[in-house]
Structure 1
Amino acid sequence: MLRTKVLPRCYLSPLVLRGLRGTARWKHSTPVEDAHVGAPFRIPLIDFSAFRTASSPSERRRVADDIVDGFKEVGFIYLTGHGIQPDVIENVYKKSAEFFELPQHIKDQVAWDDPRANRGYVKVGRERVTQSSDAEEIAALRKKAPDAKETMEIGRDWDPVWRNKWPEETDVPGFKDTMLQFFRTCHELHTVVMRSIALGLDLQEDFFEDKIDQQSHNLRLLSYPPIPVRLLSEEGQARAGAHSDYGTLTLLFQDSVGGLEVQNPRTQRFQPAPPIPGTVVVNTGDLLARWSNDTLRSTLHRVVAPSTSKISNTDIPEGMTPARQSIAFFCNPNFDAVIESLPACVSASKPNIYPPVTTEQYIVRRLAETYD
């Protein structure tokens, strides 16, 4: 039996949440914490296998509560027991590296060219992620401090209008098949995590099912080339500038280099989110935050130079950061889904913050703002 509900979970007070953080199920967290101003900042480490293989509704609800509490407090969690095998992830890394090692003129043949399509190769400096929506300000940021990364963007391959841009099979054998299989695998994980979120928000477990089933997602392969450390110490410069993500969730697979930082919503300080072997970093995106009337946080994050110890322990030239790889699966609602605050997350004390918007309207606008 599910526990008796007194109030919808969107109404849990900060005092109750502090009490939840003190219980045993919050004891697993990242080793890096921000204890400034009496506000502990921990990214929860959650064993998702307990939800995937639960033998009782109460067990599923316990994990769902952990996940929702993590997204309320931090906006980020680490998942173990997510069901994606290490060799699958390693093969995606391998094929991603093979693509980025291609000559520049071959990569340019599949260049990104349309924010609605959001497919293809993006060279270093073309994107400048930011929270700004001012075109002139973004252009100035891109000129002064462009993102020091290159990416490959992949969407659903059966879209009736927008087609993926694939390299020739002879250039990267197995690339297309590997990425399409991984796309499906990540969609399946996204679907199950969204079921847990629905439960944790006192919704029917399948509430989001028909709103995310069209797989309007974006698989992003990221390559961060070596860069002088001094450049990343300059004002405004980062491997990827501070930003929030756009959709429901992001599934992030990190290599061992590190550099991801997450902003503590209370102190505004950026704290490292170091790689933990075998985990997937999962964070809330803007549209899920809008759905929940900001009950769930869409937290700012960025990618900077890794720690000094990481740099000093690698075989790279002095003063250079090591190359970094990551894989981000940006989970989105269906493009025609209308995103408006859930009734349970709106009250007299917390009125509705956002007007309704479709997924397509929101994401296409954000992409058009951040790309050159």
Structure 2
Amino acid sequence: MITRHISTTTWKAASRSSVRFSRAGYGIVRLRALATLAEIVRSDDTFGIPVVDFGRFRTNDPAAKLSTAKEVVDAFKEVGFVYLSNHGIQDEKINNAFKKSKAFFDLPEEKKAALAWEDPRSNRGYVQQGRERVTQSSDAQEIAALREKAPDYKESMEIGRDWDATWKNQWPQEQDAPDFKSTFLDFFKTCHEFHTLVMRSIALGLSLPETFFDDKIQEQYHNLRLLAYPSIDTRLLKAEGSARAGAHSDYGTLTFVFQDSVGGLEVQNPHTKQFHAATPIPGTIVVNVGDLLARWSNDVLRSTLHRVVAPPAHNGPITPARQSMAFFCNPNGGAEISCLPTCLKEGEKPKYPTVQTEQYIVGRLRATYS
């Protein structure tokens, strides 16, 4: 199936007679008589992840900010994913982060193993290939069986806020990975600042004060994950139940995905349950809703299943190596997550009980790792 990316102007007005899509290859295709995003994504023939120009939110124009906020929230309501262009994070910074990430994963195994991930409360350090098995299951025996039968074909390095009084990051020696620590301390800070902006757009789009979330996320209780997917026999990836990362949702508020050009990320159409490729688009960041934000919004915003598989267009015997970086955004650790006031209709009850951020995320992580 051809991947489609819905342009920012696609669903703005029901009266428009045509819809613009940016397909793989970034040509423009027009489809008649589809006016709203809700109509577009309900069919696998027209499903796409919206592309929103976030530069318009970064202006001082209230009208531009509000219209962009509504586009972001509409994308999260119907798909759970969006591509943000003109996001303000410099290409040079992203490219340098990829370079330093690759240099780390190229280190000898014993150097990386010395930094091993140890505790879900910390969620910091190196995770060797096969240790994590992402899944929607919370049953320890089922996850162990899945890990044995079809492990995730990836390795990762987990980085948290560096000033935490209890949990410390696992940094490689400077001589082993020059500028690794300084690069990712800066990248972590940049992603948090971007998180604040995107959450402000969500607040406006949900008819909340723009700064509603500011004091609920300022502790930077986030996780930066560097990911390396080694080259692999394509037959292994296409075996039943196998994937570079199995189908799952994320845990927190938002996830920012920086991906290279290889591809393989797939997003489930929440309306039909079919998976579609999230083809890399240069200059964009893929952003998706996590489970805590879905709970916070009473499922007004969708936490959508996604996975990493062999790229759809790849038919060779060896699937090439892939790099990505995921910034998992979370509310403050002690934040109590309960239904937002604008996400509950009159007479309606919240779908979920109140949950504390740290307890929820640590519980999910504990089930995920062996």
- Scaled by the length of structure 2, the TM-score of the pair is 0.90
Provide structure 1 residue ranges, at least 5 long, that are not aligned to the other structure: 1-17, 313-317
Structure 1 partner of 2:23: 31
Partner residue, 2:37: none
Q: State the partner residue of 2:349.
A: 351
Following superposition, the deviation at residue 345 of structure 1 comes to 1.1
Output the amino acid matched with 1:117. S
Q: Select the residue among 153, 169, 179 that pairs with 2:184.
A: 179
TM-score by length of 1: 0.89
Secondary structure of the corresponding residue to residue 328 of structure 2: strand
Task: Name the residue aligned to 1:148.
Answer: 153
- Match in the other structure for 1:103: 108
Q: Verify the 8 A CA contact 2:118 2:125 in the aligned structure 1.
A: yes
Letter in 2 for 1:218: N
Match of 1:47 among 36, 53, 70: 53
SS in 2 for 1:219: strand
Query: Are 2:91 and 1:86 aligned?
Result: yes
Inter-CA distance 349–76: structure 2 relative to 1 (3 Å threshold): farther
Structure that is richer in strand per residue? 2
Letter of the 2:207 counterpart = D
Offset at 1:30? 4.9
Counterpart residue number, 2:3:
none
Alpha-carbon deviation of 1:28? 5.5
Question: Partner residue of 1:266?
Answer: 271
Asked if residue 128 in structure 1 is aligned to residue 126 in structure 2, the reply is: no
**C-alpha separation in 2, matches of 1:151 and 1:213:** 25
Q: In 1, Cα distance between the equivalents of 2:110 and 2:66?
A: 51
Uncovered stretches (5+) of structure 2, i.e. residues with no partner: 1-9, 30-39
**CA distance in 2: counterparts of 1:106 and 1:277, whole angstroms:** 33
Q: Which residue identity does 1:237 align to in structure 2? A: S
Alignment of structure 1 residues 59-74 onto 2, 5 Å: 59-74=64-79
Three-state SS of the structure 2 residue aligned to 1:44 is strand
Percent sequence identity is: 62
Higher share of residues assigned helix: 1
AA at the equivalent of 1:44: P
**1:366/1:165 CA distance change after superposition, 3 Å:** same
Deviation, structure 1 residue 346: 1.6
| Distance (Å, rounded) in 2 between the aligned partners of 1:35 and 1:69 | 11
Amino acid aligned to 1:31: R
Asked if the contact 1:30–1:44 (Cα under 8 Å) also holds between the matched residues in 2, the reply is no
Indicate the SS of the match to 2:23.
Answer: coil
Amino acid at match of 1:49: G
Q: Residues 162-214 of structure 1: CA distance to partner in whole angstroms, max 9, x if unpaired? A: 00000000000000000000000000000001000000000011100000000
Kept after mapping to 2: 8 A contact 1:28/1:45: no
> Could you give the per-residue CA deviations for residues 105-164 of structure 1, whole angstroms, max 9, x where no partner exists?
110000000001000000000000000011111110000001000000000000000000
1:228 matched to which residue of 2?
A: 233
2:202 maps to 197
Q: Partners in 1 of 2:168 and 2:20 — Cα distance?
A: 42
Amino acid in structure 2 at the alignment position of 1:319: P
Query: Alpha carbons of 1:334 and 1:21: their partners in 2 closer, same or farther (altered >3 Å)?
Result: farther
Q: CA RMSD in A?
A: 2.0
Task: Name the CA distance, whole Å, in 2 between partners of 1:36 and 1:57.
Answer: 31
1:119–1:173 CA distance, 2 compared to 1 (3 A): same
Q: 1:29 offset after TM fit, Å?
A: 4.8
Q: Distance in 1 between the 2:93 and 2:171 partners?
A: 20
Counterpart-to-counterpart distance in 1, 2:191 and 2:358: 21
Change (3 A) 1:28 1:96: farther
**Residue 343 to residue 36, structure 1, CA distance change in 2 (3 Å):** closer
Aligned to 2:61: 56
Task: Report Cα offsets for 1:270-291 as digits up to 9, x if no partner.
Answer: 0000000010000000011001
Per the alignment, do residues 271 and 23 of structure 1 end up closer, same or farther by CA in structure 2, a change over 3 Å counting? farther
Q: Secondary structure at the match of 1:77?
A: strand
| Change in 2 beyond 3 A, CA 1:336/1:27 | farther
Q: Retained in 1: the 8 A contact 2:41–2:271? A: no
- The alignment of Structure 1 onto Structure 2 pairs a total of residues equal to 346
**2:358 maps to what in 1?**
360
Q: Kindly indicate whether the alpha-carbon contact (under 8 Å) linking 2:258 and 2:285 is maintained by their aligned counterparts in 1.
A: yes
Higher deviation after alignment, 339-348 or 110-119? 339-348
Contact 1:253 1:326 in 2 (8 A): yes
